[in-house]
Every structure is written in C-alpha cells, then in structure tokens.
Chains A and B, each alone.
Chain A
Amino acid sequence: MTATEESATSLEQTVAGATSSRFSQVFGTLTATMLAVFLLFALVFSPPDVSQRDAVRLFYIHVPSAIVALYLAFGITFVASIMYLRKGTDFWDLLAGSSAEIGVLFCAFMLGTGMLWGKPTWGVYWQWDPRLTSTAISFVLFAGYLAIRRLDLDPTVRSRRAAVLGIIGFLNVIVVRQSVQWWRGLHQGQTLDLVDSQLSGMHYFSFFLGLVSMTMVFGWLLLHRFRVAWLETQADAATLQTALAERQAEAADYTARPPDTGGPTTTETEGI
C-alpha cells in the first residue's frame, strides 16, 4: 500500500467513525435493541386499556419523553450551566448546550404526543391549562437558549448569557412540576403517582421499557452531540491557527524580499 493509499484509508476510518468509539458502538447497539423490544411491547404485546383503549400506548412515549426532557436533559443543562459559571471551561458549556438541544427535541415529542393523547382523552388537542402552558413556556425558553448559543457575540459573553438562561429555564421546570398542584386544570395530577396507583402488569412493564429505552437514547445522543460540539470548536480553532500561520508566512516572505524585487522599503520596515 502506498503512502497516499494509507493516508486515504486513515481518512476514511476517521470519517466513518467520526464521533464513535468502542463504547458508543456497544451502547448504540444495546439502545437500538432496547427500542425494538419496547416497540414490540408498546404496540403489540400491551393490551388496550379498559377506559382509554389503544390511546394508552401514547402514555408509553409521552411520559418518558417528559421525564427525559424536563428532568434529565434540562437538569444536566442546569448543573452544567452552574459549573460553567464557576469554572468557565468549554467542557461544561458544550455539555450544557448539547443536553439542551436534545432536551428541546424530547420536549417537542412530549408536546406532540401529549396533544395526540389529549384529543381522544379530553376531546381537545390543546387547552391553555397550567401544565400545558408551563410546558410550552419551557419549550420556548430552551429554544431561546439554543438561539442565544448561535448569536454572533464574543464566545465568553455568549456562553455566560446562555448559562444564565439555562439556569432560569430549569427553574421553570419546577413550575411545570408543581403546576398541577398549584392550579386547577385539565391535566391529571402527578403522572408518576398515577403510574404507581393505577397501572399494573403489562401496562406498567411497557411504560418501564419506554422510560429505560428513551433514557438510553438520550444518553447515546448526548454522547455524540457533545463530541460534535467539541469537534466544532476544535475545527474553528484549527482554521484560525492555519489562517494565522499563513499570514505570518506571507509577512515573513514579504519582509525577506529586497526592495527592488517588490520587498518593503526602508520606511516600511521601520515599523516591523
């Protein structure tokens, strides 16, 4: 194999496994298997509920999406934002941003499946109920958080502002959680209390599988999203370093030339 072929093979390997590692491959395979098992139980093995009929199947993805988005994803963003404000390192900033992005995705799943579950259960897709409204506010807050992260500002200023919003956004999650107790609305009480008291057998097991598989999906996505975020910062730094090296080489080449061949005059070199 020639040096060029070896280089091309090495590049292919780098690109093919861009953000994967042995761990992420094994974890990804387990996650995919778990999702397949979950789908079988959720859509095939689980019997219809007595009162909700097949609409109970939406419960298996709606509640896990809510737990992953609100508590896990936005919780990690909250902790990482505090850590960033204390330590000021890229690691915490990128972790907060990566977790928030996936949290917004799961929050969209929660709102979408909740609306689809609401129509057969309540008769409406949407109502300005305290739980629904506070959840929608959470979604908008963290969408705004992602927008702030894309502002064309000094990176430190941008990350600090994002961290502050990440902390405020998580405080709203407490409002979401308590909304069913503080105000009267259409949404039922704490769903996890219902899980303990009203679910049993195959329904409970299907919900449990949904929760585990959604958590695994979140973990796998977070791993890759963080690595992509890290690559983005490093790609920017590498591009800047290359550009600086090129300018320095150009300047060195220019100053090395004699004045009669296009090099600097005596007046110009005084300032160099």
Chain B
Amino acid sequence: MHWEFVIPGYLLVFGGLAIYTGALLRRARILAVRVPPERRRFVG
C-alpha cells in the first residue's frame, strides 16, 4: 500500500543521483584533456 508514492520517490532520488554523477564524470573527462599535469594539484 502506498507504493504509488514510494516508487516515484526512490526513482527521483536514485535517478537524480545517476544523472548528476554521469554529468559530473563527463565534465571531468572533458576538462582532463585541457589541464596539463603540473596544474592537477588536488586532483586524483
């Protein structure tokens, strides 16, 4: 009972996390090409 509210709630959180994480890692990959190694302090 009330699964019609539970499922959208979990989809919102986990879907949101997946989309945000994907966008973040994609941005990181694009930037990695533009930054020379000597400027990568604090990164990996």
Q: Is the CB of B32 within 8 A of A18?
A: yes
* Residues in A215-246 with C-beta less than 8 Å from chain B: 217, 221, 224-228, 230-232, 234-235, 237-239
A43 to chain B: which residues have CB within 8 Å?
6, 10
CB within 8 A of A55: which of B2, B10, B36? B2
Q: Is the CB of B6 within 8 A of A235?
A: no
Q: Is the CB of B5 within 8 A of A53?
A: no
Per-residue interface assignment for chain B, residues 31 to 44, with 1 indicating a CB less than 8 Å from any chain A CB and 0 otherwise: 11111110111111
Q: How far apart are the CA atoms of A224 and B28 in the complex, in Å?
A: 8
B1 to chain A: which residues have CB within 8 Å?
48, 53-55
Size band of the interface chain B makes with A: 20 to 34
Per-residue interface assignment for chain B, residues 6 to 31, with 1 indicating a CB less than 8 Å from any chain A CB and 0 otherwise: 10111011101100110011011101
Q: How far apart are the CA atoms of A21 and B16 in the complex, in Å?
A: 24
Q: How far apart are the CA atoms of A240 and B16 in the complex, in Å?
A: 35
CB within 8 A of B42: which of A62, A120, A230? A230
The 9 closest A-B pairs by CB, nearest first: A18-B32, A18-B28, A231-B31, A234-B39, A53-B1, A55-B2, A19-B28, A235-B34, A21-B44
Q: Is the CB of B42 within 8 A of A221?
A: no
A54 to chain B: which residues have CB within 8 Å?
1-3, 6
Using known A-B contacts A15-B33, A238-B34, A239-B34, determine if residue A61 contacts B16 with beta carbons closer than 8 Å.
no
Where chain A touches its partner, the secondary structure class is: helix
Using known A-B contacts A21-B44, A221-B20, determine if residue A232 contacts B3 with beta carbons closer than 8 Å.
no
Q: How far apart are the CA atoms of A267 and B44 in the complex, in Å?
A: 53
Size band of the interface chain A makes with B: 35 or more
Q: How far apart are the CA atoms of A109 and B20 in the complex, in Å?
A: 12
CB within 8 A of A116: which of B9, B25, B39, B44? B9
Q: Does A17 contact B (CB under 8 A)?
A: yes
CB proximity of B14 to chain A, nearest CB, Å: 8
| Residue of B9, B37, B42 contacting most chain A CB atoms (<10 Å) | B9
Using known A-B contacts A227-B44, A231-B35, determine if residue A61 contacts B13 with beta carbons closer than 8 Å.
yes
B14 to chain A: which residues have CB within 8 Å?
35, 39
Q: Is the CB of B31 within 8 A of A232?
A: yes
CB within 8 A of A14: which of B6, B9, B16, B33? B33
Q: Is the CB of A109 within 8 A of B31?
A: no
B25 to chain A: which residues have CB within 8 Å?
18-19, 224
Q: How far apart are the CA atoms of A235 and B10 in the complex, in Å?
A: 36
* Residues in A33-91 with C-beta less than 8 Å from chain B: 35, 39, 42-43, 48, 52-55, 57-58, 61-62, 65, 91
A114's nearest neighbour on chain B, judged by CB, is B9
CB proximity of B35 to chain A, nearest CB, Å: 5
Q: Does A207 contact B (CB under 8 A)?
A: no
Q: How far apart are the CA atoms of A57 and B35 in the complex, in Å?
A: 44
Q: Is the CB of B10 within 8 A of A227?
A: no
B37 to chain A: which residues have CB within 8 Å?
14
B37's nearest neighbour on chain A, judged by CB, is A14
Q: Is the CB of A117 within 8 A of B5?
A: yes
